[in-house]
Amino acid sequence: MRNHLLAVIAIMAAVSAPVAAQAQSTVQGTVGVAGSGTVADGTVGIAADQRPAFRKYIVQERVPSYSIPDRVIVGGILPETGVIFYDVPQSFGATSYRYTVVNGETVLVEPRSRRIVQVID
């Protein structure tokens, strides 16, 4: 019985170790690092208190809105052609992301992959 209990504990430890390691690697990293695009509160991109000013900036710049058939969601990939990405002004924080307007919504995009990382509400 004791050997059986030890075997069960060993199996449980072996199964849970990769999950714990994965959880640690996703938590550590870019929070608060200058230029990472991650705001100190853990959100990616433009901080909540900066969003109204950022939306106003987009309207003043008259950035054109591009239409795509897909929904605009975080994690979505924008097409390779037909969409122009713009630099985020440093007044909104140092970020490696670019912005554009798609289907009437302002989004931050990782420029190499064209993956949407934030939809500015």
The pLDDT value recorded for residue 2 is: 62
Under 8 Å between Cβ of 108 and 36 = no
Mean pLDDT of 46-69: 91
The yes-or-no verdict on residue 28 having pLDDT over 90 is no
Q: How confident is the model at residue 43 (pLDDT cuts 50, 70, 90)?
A: low
User: For the chain, what is the radius of gyration of the CA atoms?
Assistant: 21
| Interatomic CA distance for residues 87 and 107, integer angstroms | 12
Q: Which CATH number describes the domain made up of 33-120?
A: 3.10.450
Residue 120 CB burial class (10 angstroms; 0-12, 13-18, ≥19) = middle
Task: Express each pLDDT in 98-109 by its tens digit.
Answer: 999 999 999 999
